[in-house]
Amino acid sequence: MIAVQKAVTVPRAPHDAFRLFVDDIARWWPLATHSVGREAATSVVFENGVGGRIVETYAGGRTAVWGTVTEWDPPTRVRFSWHPGTREEEATEVEVRFSAVAGGTEVELVHTGWDRRPDGPEARAGYEGGWEYVLGFFAAAAG
């Protein structure tokens, strides 16, 4: 199945864009619409390094793991498994690359592994628009 590929250019150096993406994810991620807990979600944390988890926290302290870092190469690349709201065995893969360009950094996201999900074609279709929406929040925070 074809990968979902999205890119945005932000007016920041690659190390700043990388840091915003991972260390400040709670500042820009649209939790109310794009999370497991929706309106009950209070935060999300991206733990640094291989083996680090992406963890959403709900009001009351409950958590949901969205994925696990599988490659960590700041400030150029991060790759992680992705399974918010689904079983870990159905995890897809997301890679985000940060490349210096005139005026800032191009942030390219590639989402693969749809064949691991029983609803692969439908999930892929949802993420096609979903990543564009989410990266819009990232770009706004970076600007």
Tokens of residue 66, six digits: 């969205």
User: 15-72 pLDDT, tens per residue?
Assistant: 999 999 999 999 999 999 999 999 999 999 999 999 999 999 999 899 999 999 999 9
How much is the pTM?
Answer: 0.96
Task: Show the domains of the chain with their CATH numbers.
Answer: 4-142 (3.30.530.20)
User: 106-141 pLDDT, tens per residue?
Assistant: 999 999 999 999 999 999 999 999 999 999 999 999
**What pLDDT does residue 115 have?**
96
Tokens of residue 59, six digits: 């009001």
Least Cα distance to 56 among 87, 95, 83, 90 occurs for 83
The secondary element (H helix, E strand) that includes residue 19 is: helix 14-23
**Residue 97 neighbours by CB under 8 Å, 6+ apart:** 76, 77, 107, 108, 110
Least Cα distance to 8 among 94, 134, 119 occurs for 134
